[in-house]
Amino acid sequence: MVKNEENIGILNIFASFNNTIAVITDLAGNTIGRVSGGQITKHNRMKANPTIAMFIAKRIQEMCKDYKINSLYIQMKGETGSTGIGPGANAIVRTLTKEGFKIVSISETTAIPRGGPKKQGGRRGRRV
């Protein structure tokens, strides 16, 4: 009996409340493919929709079949300073799990603002 060889890839998902972008790479970090909500639909209001994210996952699945990838590390990232990850990220993970991919790990890599540059505008009124 031949053991099924396991090829692993990394799926980076950027999900904001305006768009969802998914990039599939190999373990060395070389990009295999990239799919965004704008490639699926041309309606601006639909790009972050979970339904569109399912179609993004289908395209990612086709790219993975070409490279015989059957296991994925998933890194989800939201917009810096926002309240959370957009609605498309969970839909992509759910769809890929249903399609039979083995999910090795899921991590969230959203950047956290730590003070940053000085805010715009100054004090108002007369200062003595």
Which stretch of DSSP H or E encloses residue 90?
helix 88-98
Over residues 79-119, the pLDDT tens digits come to: 988 888 999 999 999 999 999 999 999 999 998 888 888 88
CB atoms near residue 24 (< 10 Å) = 22
Residue with tokens 């768009």: 19
Residue with tokens 């079949």: 65
Domain-wise residue ranges, the chain: 8-108
Total count of residues recorded for the chain: 128
pTM (two decimals): 0.83
Q: For 8-108, which CATH class?
A: alpha beta
